[in-house]
Chains A and B, each alone.
Chain A
Amino acid sequence: MAGIWLDVLDEIARTCSAHGRDDLLQTVRQKRTQLLDPKLRVLVIGEPNQGKSQLINAIINAPACPVGDGRTTVLPTVVQHAEAAYAAVAQAPPPAPGRSAGTATVVAVERTPVALNQVAAGVAGTVGRRPGGGPAYVEIGVPRALLGAGMVLVDTPGTDEIAAVGGAGPVASPSRADTVLLVSDSTRELSVTELDMLLHVMRSHPNVVVVQSKTDLVADWRAVAERNRQHLADAGIPAPVIPVSATLRLRAAAADDRALNAESGFPTLIARLQRDMSGKADQLARVAVQAVARTVVEQLAAPLRAELATQEAEEQSGPISRLHAAQREVDELRRCSTRWQNSLNDEVADLLSDIEYDLRDRTRQILRAVDEAFDTADPLVAWDTFQDWLERSLVEAAEANHEWLIQRCDWIARRVAANFARYGYDVLPPWSMTMPEDFGERLPELERPKVDRFTTGQKLFTGMKGSYGGMLMFGLATTLAGMPMINPVSVGIGALFGGKSIRDESKQLLRRRQATVKTAIQRHVDEFFVRVIRDCRDAARQVQRMLRDHFTGLTEELQEAIVQSFRSAKQEADTDAALREQRQREIRLKMTRLAALYEQSQQLSGPRSAPGLLEPRA
């Protein structure tokens, strides 16, 4: 029979290495050794003071383990057969870095012999243990037939914390035991902690027995046992309850009293252990292999399941999501392109009307000043001074207006560039506008009106001096941001005429002269206005064109890059999908194999014959 469960176990081992899980492989190998070992390893666990140590003593009828009140057992104690009684503290060398925990079990432990009258101190951890060493335990050898037949009893420190079960080192670990006895005394029912402890151990270890100790102490131990069985059934724990009294057993042994021995409940417990021992190679091993299969399959399946889950998550986050992102980039660029074109057009339109308004405002102020001046002054007398002033004022107005234009153009360039902010680099055009040096000379010149022998309609201005071919030039120059606006009319005209005396002429003549000059100047200023504005318009249009060319170029560049990355994202997504599909097929296959392995292990025994369900009664 051994053959079949061993085959399954080896199959499990193979699966572990196929999955590259050396840690699990170690456990399986260790289990294999353990199951092939004919010895029965019995682990005794429980809350403090429940009589665990005394239970072991009573099983073997010898005071092997120290018994006491308060915390007695500190180190796990392994009680096994020996021709002559001995005791030793065994300690693994301190865990060396780089050596995995799995291999540590193979490492030879150091044994320090302990005198038999020092066993209590040894078990309390105060004798024979090197500080800083690895986990220590006490080994006690006793010449006893039961032990000689191959039983090893392991006493553990009491604990009411689930995490601490088996925490005292590998010898106290439930995974190394064939049978686990949980000791709970008769003075109360199983506590919540004890039930949790059982559930915890049950997960990895199917062969658990609840030993209800100290039945001698209370009258109602039968009722307690009944309620304990009920608690176990309610918690779904298939463990039998065996009530015992170590005190009675030891007394019976001393007095060789069979009836008392029977009363102690130990015959039932020992029969159970002996059955486990003889059935170890068969029944027990099969159940153990089932448990191993369950844990291994769980452990192997968990990462696979997790991988499947992450794959699904990645499908949303991996290359596909990059593809979506690239797609979004393409759309975004398209939107950006419309946006910047609109803002350029809007801004230039605004600019044109603003500039025109500005210049009109400035010329209007000049004209108003002229009107006021020639309401009193005589053109014949004041003309020369006046002409200078007018020319200078007009040049200043045009310059100021232009300065503003330049600033506005610069600003527009930035505004449009802001649409490209998300692409992260500086996209301003590499040029900006400047004011031509000879700006003033390009303006139309004002000629002296012929006011002596005046005729209406006579041309006052003989023409323009020089040709005025546009004011702006473009060049690589610094930006003009931050330049102060120029005062529209810088010099008051009244001051110029202040000292001039008006010729004594007839008032009428003077009026006429004044009117003529005013009209002439009006016309001149209008002409000036038209020219300057046309220039501004041209300049603005030119700027608009240049900006459009610049940003169109930029958009195209960006588009190319984005479309490129879109294409590669798409390609990546396609390959990834293929890879993923393949990996998923692999995982599914592995899962199917694991399921088959699990099936195989479960068929090792029918559920009816699982030893955990056989409940011996007193």
Chain B
Amino acid sequence: MTVGVRLDEAAWGLLHQALDLYRANSRAVGQLRHQVARLEEPLRIAVAGPWRSGKSTVLNALMGEEVAPVEGADGAFTWYEDGAAPRATAYPVGQPAQELTVVKSATGMRVDLGWGAGEVRDIVVQWPTRALRQVTLIDTPALTGAGERGRVSVMDRVLRDADAVLFLTRDGRDSDLRVLESGRESAVGQAAPVNVIMVLSRADETGGGRIDGLLTARQLARRHYRDPRVGALAVNVVACSGSVGLAGRMLSESDFGALAVLAGVPRAELEAHLLSADRFCRGDLPVRMDPDLRAALLDRFGLFGIRLATTLVRSGFDNRVKLSAELIRRSGLTELREAVTRCFIDRRDTLKARSALAAVETLVRAEPVRGSEELVGTIEQILAGAHEFRELRLLVALRHTRLGFDAELAAEAQRLIGGDGVGLAARLGVEHEATVQRLWEVAADAQGRWRDRAEDPILPLAQRRGAEVVVRSCEGMLAELAAGGR
């Protein structure tokens, strides 16, 4: 049993249809070939956001190493991709590419762009790490306010060059959302907000550094997630403190030692020394600690991070591994990585196809030729018909209105259409090691029940339509099981 056209095949077909139509236009052909090649490349995830929102820090936290930013790379996109050996290349506009010196450090690397001549648009850093096996990460320059006409805005470039975006904002304020909304003018942009995760960054600063700040930040993220305006822009909203997460990932034994010493100071006494960064750096601690070490700790953990870490050590996270894991968890980094896996990496094909569709749409809009309306038609057809997009649209709808389903049904529908992860087990809500037999039973059962709903004339149309999508998802799973079982 096949369930409709496969999205990746449809995208491939569309690109070739466009290649045929634009065969006389060598520039367009170049662009389209590039898109075809991109289908096979690792997923590109850009970290974008306004000025000082913590983009480079979040990227480091995801990599688990200090590799960003490249010094002096203002305005350039920095691509971090897998490579055999550390290497960095700068691509200045209108000049030959230039190799940059990579200085390895204990915690990562440093690259200095170090020259003034010419505008550099891209820097490609190759860095051997597992984190880059499946994805290419892009550190981007600060988003400029909307309305800077004449040149391609940073956001436009991000949406064009990346398959998915981590959109950082410190508080999800209006002006930030508007930048994100500016990317939704095209048909592909409007189809489903699959390619953006909104990150409330620097979450440790919420509450002015109070110890419960990260919890508050998580609540804020949930509030944003339920806001329909955000729902139209992002698949997910996660609060994350890049600096605390990074500090957790790179926690060394000596870091742990210093923190443990601090945790040894009676709470009330330590609190007085953690009143302000100044007091921590300059005050007379009851334990001996080098001012340089204090400054370094403060620099990496922040005042909040030190407060959190010492509290955690006191409450039982009493070795490096435990503390590191808990810092990563509390910082929201774990949740962010899970969201990246679930929303981006697992949906790689959908995102790649989406990029291809968007590229063809952009080309057709910029250089319409005879017959290009047909391409637009194909794009719309794919957007409307591809099951992946219908699932994603239903997800957004369920998130905000539940379509009138009760909470339990809405949750089931959401799970079945991949809202909790696109793997079979995640969709069916069964344990990972479940047998094919069991998966089949659960899927068939769900299919039967949702089919009844889809065909129940008493239900409102929206619910029946929604149920149809769920049925299609179940059919897809059964087909997958059948194919696997052969």
Contact = CB atoms under 8 A, between A and B. Distances in A.
Interface in B260-285: 275-281
B140 interface: no
Contacts of B209: 216-217, 247
A568 B12 CA distance: 79
B95 interface: no
B243 to A, nearest CB: 11
Contacts of A218: 277, 302-303
Interface in A588-616: none
A69 B303 CA distance: 18
Point out which of B209, B223, B276, B280 has the most chain A C-beta atoms below 10 A from its C-beta.
Answer: B276
Interface stretch (A188-196, A304-312, A435-443, A576-584): A188-196
Interface string A136-153: 000000000000000000
A251 B268 CA distance: 14
Contacts of B216: 69
Interface string B171-183: 1011100000000
B202 A219 contact: no
B208 A219 contact: no
B68 to A, nearest CB: 18
Contact of B276 (A160, A161, A192, A216): A216
Contacts of A187: 52, 202, 205
Contacts of B280: 219
Interface string A49-65: 10100100000000000
B211 to A, nearest CB: 13
Nearest to B205: A187
Contact of B145 (A70, A192, A216, A219): A192
How big is chain A's contact interface, by range? 20 to 34
Would you call the interface of chain A mostly helix, strand, loop, or mixed? loop
A263 B276 CA distance: 10
A263 B278 contact: yes
Interface in A268-288: none
Interface in B285-301: 295, 298-299
Contacts of B277: 216-219, 221
Given A216-B278, A217-B205, A69 B295 contact: no
Contact of A260 (B171, B175, B275, B281): B275
A219 B213 CA distance: 19
Contact of B51 (A191, A219, A248): A191
A215 interface: yes
Contacts of B302: 217-218
A245 interface: yes
A169 to B, nearest CB: 19
B276 A245 contact: yes
Contact of B217 (A48, A69, A216, A251): A69
Contact of B171 (A48, A193, A248): A48
B220 interface: yes
Interface string A438-472: 00000000000000000000000000000000000
A39 interface: no
Contacts of B295: 219
A214 interface: yes
B207 interface: yes
Nearest to B280: A219
A219 B299 contact: yes
Contacts of A216: 209, 275-278, 303
B206 interface: yes
B220 to A, nearest CB: 5
A69 B207 contact: yes
Instruction: Specify the main secondary structure of chain B where it touches its partner.
Output: helix
Contact of A160 (B175, B207, B208, B279): B175
A192 B174 CA distance: 16
Nearest to B206: A69
A100 to B, nearest CB: 31
Nearest to A251: B275
Contacts of B281: 219
A193 B298 CA distance: 29
Interface string A181-225: 000000110011100000000000000000000111111010000
Given A69-B220, A251-B275, A219 B298 contact: yes
A330 B281 CA distance: 93
A165 to B, nearest CB: 14
A173 B216 CA distance: 32
A70 B220 contact: yes
Contacts of A192: 145
B323 to A, nearest CB: 22
A49 B174 CA distance: 13
B223 A70 contact: yes
Contacts of A160: 173-175
B275 A248 contact: yes
A433 B298 CA distance: 113
Contacts of B174: 160-161
Interface string B108-128: 000000000000000000000
Nearest to B294: A219
Nearest to A219: B277
A49 B175 CA distance: 14
A191 B176 CA distance: 14
Interface string A211-252: 000111111010000000000000000000000010110010
A122 B320 CA distance: 47
A160 B172 CA distance: 12
Contacts of B217: 69
B44 to A, nearest CB: 28
A214 B208 contact: yes
A225 to B, nearest CB: 13
Q: Name the residue among A69, A221, A245, A251 with the largest chain B CB count within 10 angstroms.
A: A69
Contacts of A47: 173
Nearest to A164: B174
A51 B202 contact: no
B108 to A, nearest CB: 21
Interface string B193-219: 000000000100111110001001100
Interface of B: 51-52, 145, 170-171, 173-175, 202, 205-209, 213, 216-217, 220, 223, 275-281, 295, 298-299, 302-303
Give the top 8 A-B pairs by smallest Cβ distance, nearest first: A216-B276, A219-B277, A188-B52, A69-B206, A160-B175, A219-B298, A217-B209, A70-B220
27 contacts: A48-B171, A54-B208, A69-B171, A69-B206, A69-B213, A70-B220, A160-B173, A160-B175, A187-B52, A187-B205, A193-B175, A215-B276, A216-B275, A216-B276, A216-B277, A216-B303, A217-B208, A217-B209, A217-B276, A217-B277, A217-B303, A219-B298, A221-B277, A245-B276, A247-B208, A247-B276, A263-B279
Interface of A: 47-49, 51, 54, 69-70, 160-161, 187-188, 191-193, 214-219, 221, 245, 247-248, 251, 260, 263
Given A48-B173, A219-B295, 4 more contacts: A70-B171, A245-B276, A247-B275, A247-B276
